[in-house]
Amino acid sequence: MAFWEGVLAGYGIAIPVGAIAILIIDVSLRRGFSYGSLAGAGAATVDFIYALIAVLAGATLAAILLPYSTTLRLVSAVVLILLGAYGIWRTWQRRDHALDDPNSTDQAGHLRTYGQFFGLTLLNPLTIVYFTALVLSWDPEMMRSSADPILFVIGAGLASLSWQTLLAGAGASARRFLSPRFQLYASLIGNFIVLGLGLRILLQLAK
């Protein structure tokens, strides 16, 4: 039961389309499945860590982080705006060049992609609040069980990873079947959306 609750929680936090999902698809579209899957793994790793923290000390940590949520959202907005703007510039600069080789074995590039998405996803500590709210709603008997919290964390991590991998696969498939011009426009649109999401956060904070 706890495992499936974790699965539902993992999908609940991963499926809503946001900047991370768009960026994972964009990376796959530009660089292939190997890069996109590692980008997704970076995001899923953070969901796994936050689920674990929620089980171990979620209520306490959420209370500590909430006073800084505005600052963290501001940092997140700036990062998204910079990523979107850079993505637009990079895509336009490469409009007359071939796309990256999807069979590339550039280990440094793969690790950098994983690290970038790990760091960007880490900027959303409200994920801890989400998982903590679910954990606190459990029956007390589940909290006393040693296995249920572990199964919850595993379920949440696997669900997030499976969804992010699906996004990477969608981007890689589009890369294979769509024309280079369509891929260019798709990448530009995706980065404009990321830029817009960052601006929307700034506008919300300004109210």
Tens digits of per-residue pLDDT, 56-76?
876 566 567 667 777 777 887
Residue tagged 């769509």 (tokens): 178
Q: Report CA-CA distances (Å) from 187 to 76, 149, 190.
A: 21, 40, 5
3-class DSSP state of 100 = coil
**Confidence grade of residue 4 (pLDDT, cut at 50, 70, 90):** confident
Whether residue 12 contacts residue 162, with contact meaning beta carbons closer than 8 Å, is answered with no
0.85 surpassed by pTM: no
What does the pLDDT look like over 133-178, one tens digit per residue?
676 656 555 555 667 778 888 998 999 999 999 999 988 888 777 6
What pLDDT, on the 0 to 100 scale, is given for residue 139?
58
**Confidence grade of residue 98 (pLDDT, cut at 50, 70, 90):** very low
Any long-range contacts for 108-111 (C-beta under 8 Å, 24+ apart)? 109/35, 110/34, 110/35, 110/38, 111/38
Whether residue 2 contacts residue 142, with contact meaning beta carbons closer than 8 Å, is answered with yes
3-class DSSP state of 16 = coil
Percent of the chain with pLDDT over 90: 17
Work out the average pLDDT over 197-204.
83
Average pLDDT, the chain: 79
Token pair of 89 as six digits: 């510039």
Work out the average pLDDT over 169-196.
79
What pLDDT, on the 0 to 100 scale, is given for residue 15?
76
